[in-house]
A and B are shown apart, each in its own frame.
Chain A
Amino acid sequence: MKQICVIFRHSPIGNSASREGLDFALLSASFEQQVSVVFTDEAVLHLVKNQQPELVGSKDYLSTFKALNLYDIETVLVCQESAKQFGLKQDDFNFEAELASTTDIQQVLAQSDEVVVY
């Protein structure tokens, strides 16, 4: 068992990186790895409620982020600096995640065996 940290840093609109990162995170968890997830930069936009990815030709993978907890992925962090830049507050979040400082995120990275960036 390894501790894997998956970092999302791309917007949900415009590319498929996050969808493939999410697949990787869920699959790693189902293979009994200990997975943590961090949203930073434009990726904090994944937390915005009521998005309709179908309108830009994507599958609605955003609702799958709600499954992170079901897969026992308990550490779901949102970079508070990035959230602030995009005007996002915890009340606005579409799924369970907590705002985290740079220090909090550094701690998770330090504890991880592997860090994968999507």
Chain B
Amino acid sequence: MNKFIIQVNGTVYGSTASFRALRFTESVLSLGHEVTRIFFYQDGVSNSSHLICPASDEHDLHQAWKNLASEFDIQLINCVSAALRRGVISEQEATENAKSQFNSSDPFEMGGLGELVTGIETSDRLVCF
């Protein structure tokens, strides 16, 4: 059994990177490996937006990540500075920055790049999408 950390850099829609990341994660889990953490960086932070509303016959990646996280108890972490620059904020940042709305909600958490690096250090393999 190996420990994986997954880094998602691709946007939630417009490239297939995030979808492939999800499928890869499901696949390693089904093979009995452990996925400790999904780290969303660059345009990947858009995956955490609660405001994603795909058509009813399309894939809802935001929801798929949430389902995966709760089923397998995996941390979903946004790089906070990448997220803030792209208009993805949590309730706490909305308060701190005097914004009337927020769009990132549980179980997505805001974190620092340090969580990516410590995740890499404690995992056997980092896989980026």
Contact = CB atoms under 8 A, between A and B. Distances in A.
B42 A4 contact: no
Contact of A2 (B113, B114, B121): B121
A73 interface: no
A113 to B, nearest CB: 8
Do most interface residues of chain A lie in helix, strand or loop, or is the interface mixed? mixed
A20 B114 contact: no
Contacts of A117: 128
A59 to B, nearest CB: 10
Interface in A90-118: 114, 116-117
Interface residues of A, number: 15
Interface stretch (A23-31, A48-56, A64-72, A80-88): A23-31
B113 A4 contact: no
Interface in A1-49: 1-2, 4, 16-17, 20, 23-24, 27-28, 31, 33
Interface in B101-129: 112-114, 116-118, 120-121, 125-126, 128
Contacts of B116: 24
Interface of B: 7, 41-42, 81-82, 112-114, 116-118, 120-121, 125-126, 128
Given A20-B42, A116-B128, A117-B128, 5 more contacts: A2-B120, A24-B113, A27-B113, A27-B117, A114-B120
Interface of A: 1-2, 4, 16-17, 20, 23-24, 27-28, 31, 33, 114, 116-117
